[in-house]
Amino acid sequence: MFRRGILIPALLSGIFMPIVSCSPYTLREYFPGSGDTTTVRVLILKTKDRFTVSSDGEMSASIASIHMTRTIKGTSAECTPDSLPARSSIKSGTPPLYLNGKPYRGMFELHHKNGFAYVVNTLKIDEYLMGVVPCEIPSGWESEALKAQAVAARTFAYYHLTENSKSPTLYDLDATTNSQVYGGMSEEKERTSRAVAETSGEIISYNARPILSYFHSTCGGKTIDDKYVWSQSHLEYLKGVTCGFCGDSTKYNWESTLSLEEIRSGLSKKYGKLGKIKNISFKKNNDRVTSVVIRHSRGTLAIPGNNFRLLFPPEKMRSLYFTSKKAGKGFVLSGHGWGHGVGMCQWGARGMALHGYGYQDILKHYYTGVSISPIRDSTIAYKSRK
């Protein structure tokens, strides 16, 4: 007999809500066979607030700690962090599952930790990519650019599967720009799903291992070595290259103003209160800002360039590839590109596709010394979850 509070009270007590039906796109249209059946765990919600899990049909809930499963004859339940056990899972007999009305493939793992509820979507890696690629690149772009993005995104996921196998984690990736953007079924598009299917199982490897396949919107003419953006990173395949294909990007050139007050405010939120700013120096390598030195009345603060960029809204500093000119109580920034500038330039990938390059040529241009091969040909240091 289940007691209220052991599992998810709303699921067990019959508090159900009507939902709008959403039929999932059939996978058979894209994957005639089984495709890549490796699973990935994606954090789609971390909250202290109430949330709703729902389905078009019956759901089954399991509690890991007591090895019990119960089928719930209803379509929707409201949950709160306090109502959750440390770990439980929910499956639907009639996919998809919904989180706050948004549909997802696979199942949900629910965790209660430090007062937060974590909702983790566990699903096959190609199903995951169907919800990633259209969030990271326009689905109307050329098919070879879409395939390049699909392989880069798959490789990024496999890299983190490998790394996460070294110690227990609640999830492998999250659904934001902290990893790569994942929107679930509601974001899926026919052309990007086909790009995922047509490259199923393919990854970018270096020395027979998945690479950390960083990508960004627009490099502005050239990419940069990873070590100049993240000092702790020095990967042989993330070398700066000349692009020459991203000139059509709407962010290829940009200009903005940044006042001293905006700089002080951004710095204070991250590093504590500063004194009056006396001088700001931008240190560069290959035309990109690699570090920023701020001299103020209370001392000197030196921070990596990318940390400085992330203190401000994107429209203020779209990249670190810029020149600065003092203007009144601040600076006018004249720059190129959008993003950190490491790895594949997405607008450059599109430009290469327009010039007749295939997706493997595109990937090998932006990632140095790599191979494009089936995942089974790589050395994977994790226990596959299938």
- Does a structural domain hold residue 163? no
**Structural domain tally of the chain?**
2
* Count of Cβ atoms closer than 10 Å to residue 297 Cβ: 9
Ranges of the chain with pLDDT below 70: 1-35, 65-74, 378-386
- Does a structural domain hold residue 371? no
Using only the alpha carbons of the chain, give its radius of gyration: 23
Residue that finishes a domain, picked among 76, 102, 126:
126
If you ran DSSP here, which 8-state letter would residue 29 be given? G
Full residue range of the structural domain in which residue 121 is found: 9-126
- Does a structural domain hold residue 132? no
Query: The pTM is what?
Result: 0.89
- Does a structural domain hold residue 352? no
Q: Determine phi and psi for 178, rounding to 5 degrees.
A: -60, -30
- Does a structural domain hold residue 79? yes
What helix, strand, coil percent values describe the chain, rounded to 5?
Answer: 25, 30, 45
Residue that finishes a domain, picked among 301, 320, 336:
336
Residue that finishes a domain, picked among 302, 319, 336:
336
- Does a structural domain hold residue 203? no
- Does a structural domain hold residue 171? no
- Does a structural domain hold residue 173? no
